[in-house]
Structure 1
Amino acid sequence: MSSPYFAQSRSVVTRSGNRTAGCRPAASLRSRLTSSRGNADSQCSAAVKVEVEVDEARLSQPRPSSLSLSTGGGHGLPQPGTVQPKTETDALPLSSHSRRRRQLKVEYDKDEGVSPVKTEHWEPPNWKKQLGFIREMRSGRDAPVDNMGAEKCYDTEAPAHVRRFQVLVSLMLSSQTKDQVTAGAMQKLRAHGCTVENIISTGDETLGKLIYPVGFWRNKVKYLKLTSAMLQKEFGGDIPNSVEGLVRLPGVGPKMAHLAMDIAWDQVSGIGVDTHVHRISNRLGWLWKPTKNPEDTRKALEEWLPRELWSEINWLLVGFGQQVCLPVNPLCSVCLNQHSCPSAHKISPTKRPKAGSPRSPSPTSSFKIKTEPGQEFAVKDERAEKESLPSPLSPTTQRRRLKSKVDH
């Protein structure tokens, strides 16, 4: 065709932005595209290599499947001479996988083990009011424990380590013994010389006479000698300053250990629970459930009783148990807690006397004889005299015996 429109040369804009003077043949354009694709392939491989090195440095393992390069142009290839950096979009598969794994891990940590159970802090009802009444009833400080307890039995003029030893000795003697008897024994021991060295050098017979009549005095003589020797050998004549060290001593239990820490070392390590504290705590309902021994009572009290009351509670309840809340026949009518105590006005169980004991009633008697201390043997002698007397004879028997005498 000779049309001037087709005959004239026209300019063509290429991808590089340069204008050409005229239209090139199709073969020339295909060759250019082929060479451009080859350059892009080389650039693409270089970009992949860089991305792999970056991933190895960050994730310590290559993930080629997650690598993606941003495309340019209409052929899906990067522009020659440029390396596309890794973007947040490129790491989406890895990020979503890591995020899911982290969520599973956190959820697993929360579910691991026993799930915590929300428990409320238990405390007995009205215990503060009851404690206030006990303090009011103990305000006179005239119970035996106030004047003859372990805090009153040591020599205040003695050296510190000797005072601590005397506190421990008084606690060892007080087991199954009234405070009056313990105070008398400690007075005799202090006059003899209540030190570690003197106890070791004193014979068993002499030591027994000094502490008699405390309960189980023969066993306590043995415990005092063994404990004194152990204190001299391992602690330099002083007593241990820990509960663990004190309970290792022969004849020393948890109650004595906690009281010794409080009195001798001025450290509150626990509640000293003796028979009075054990009995009264159960009567007042101060325990989650009734306990059978003082050690269980101590653990139950320490779970709810504020620590600042641990030192006071022993002194309060012991004196209260000696004067009002007696083991047998407690004086509930004069107790200020009689309206809130669940055990008020209930007959305390009494121990059944052994068979043959002076206080055991006669098998034929239908009543109990209440005697004062020291009168049991007089009652027993009176019963023996009555039993030795001959029983009165019936009138018929008397006539028969009289008739047999007359015949003879």
Structure 2
Amino acid sequence: MIKKKRANEIFRRLARRYPDPEPALDWSHAWELLVATVLAAQCTDERVNKVTPALFKRWPTIADMATADIHEVEEMVRSTGFFRNKAKNIVASASLIINEFGGRVPETMAELIRLPGVARKTANIVLSNAFHIHEGIAVDTHVKRLSFRLGLTKHTDPVRIEKDLMPLFERKNWGDINHFLVYYGREVCNAQRPRCTECELADICPKKGVE
């Protein structure tokens, strides 16, 4: 099966399995999604969702976070891991948004990746879900693993993987394919023991049974 046709079939089957894709992180506006995504690095979404309610209650606006005491923020996000860097980046991002972006989360890739701790993955998640703007496809560990196993890329670098994936899916579906691959990576095609015998993509998977 040619790569483009395989990609279309993967999307069709996973769209049927996941009719209402959305982030597993809890958020109500772009700033909350940005913060939650930064905290989710090397951490589970479930853990982040336990931390963010108190965090957003303590500093409900971007302006509040921009003047937050860094040590207090560190303590509140400690359980997410790498808490010092995460706290520093969140406070610094809030300050930059206030001082250079008029107090609003920017809506372009070029501007978002200027924020401390924000790379293309986080920017793509914010753009797609908060603003419905599709500049790329967020590539996390699940997307990276499934893209390789399903024969959609031969690369391991997230930026190269993203470039391989973008032509394979309609632009309007770039956000959804990220959700689909993340969900499926957690439920079926996991890292250590992929459940190939239960996989509804097994008949079109070049790596079936290899790992």
For 1:264 and 1:126, locate their aligned partners in 2 and report how far apart those are by CA, in whole Å.
29
**Structure 1 residues 230 and 147: alpha-carbon distance in aligned structure 2, compared to 1, 3 A threshold:** closer
Please name the residue that 1:298 is paired with.
162
1:177 shift after superposition: 1.4
RMSD of aligned C-alpha atoms? Answer: 2.0
Q: Distance in 2 between matches of 1:167 and 1:341?
A: 33
Seen in structure 2, the aligned counterparts of structure 1 residues 267 and 183 have a Cα distance that, compared at 3 Å, is same
Q: Give 2:27's aligned residue.
A: 154
In the other structure, the counterpart of 2:90 is 224
- Percent identity between the two aligned chains: 27
For the residues of structure 1 that align with 2:47 and 2:17, how far apart are their CA atoms?
25
What is residue 248 of structure 1 aligned with on the other side?
114
Structure 2 portions without partners, runs of 5+: none
Bigger shift: 268-277 or 123-132? 123-132
In structure 2, C-alpha distance between the alignment counterparts of 1:177 and 1:231, rounded to whole Å? 25
> What is the distance in 1 between the residues matched to 2:22 and 2:168?
26
Q: Which of 131, 134, 147 is the matching residue for 2:14? A: 134
Q: Does 1:169 align with 2:42?
A: no
Q: What TM-score results when the alignment is normalised by the length of structure 2?
A: 0.90
User: Are the counterparts in 2 of residues 123 and 286 from structure 1 also a CA contact under 8 Å?
Assistant: yes
Q: Confirm whether residue 346 of structure 1 aligns to residue 210 of structure 2.
A: yes
Cα distance change of structure 1 residues 187 and 215 upon mapping to structure 2, 3 Å threshold: same
Structure 1 Cα separation of the partners of residues 157 and 23 of structure 2: 27
Q: Is the 8 A contact 1:255 1:272 kept in 2?
A: yes
Measured in 2, the distance between the counterparts of 1:129 and 1:280 equals 14
Give the TM-score normalised by the residue count of structure 1: 0.49
Residues of 2 paired with 1:123 and 1:346: CA distance? Answer: 19
2:175 matched to which residue of 1? 311
**Residues 146 and 319, structure 1, Cα contact 8 Å, conserved in 2:** no
CA distance in 1, matches of 2:6, 2:115: 39
RCO higher in 1 or 2 (8 Å CA, sep ≥ 6)? 2
Q: 2:142 aligns with which of 245, 252, 276?
A: 276
Residues 8-407 of structure 1: matches in 2 within 5 Å?
Answer: 123-139=3-19, 148-149=24-25, 153-155=26-28, 163-287=29-153, 290-347=154-211
* Cα distance in 1 for residues equivalent to 2:73 and 2:6: 48
Equivalent pair of 1:188/1:211 in contact (CA under 8 Å): no
Which is helix-richer, 1 or 2? 2
Max Rg structure: 1
Whole-Å separation in 1 of the counterparts to 2:107 and 2:27? 18
In structure 2, relative to structure 1, the CA distance for the partners of 1:325 and 1:187 (3 Å cut) is same
Q: 1:210 to 1:229 in 2, by over 3 A?
A: same
Q: Which amino acid aligns with 1:317?
A: L
> Helix, strand or coil for the counterpart of 2:106?
coil
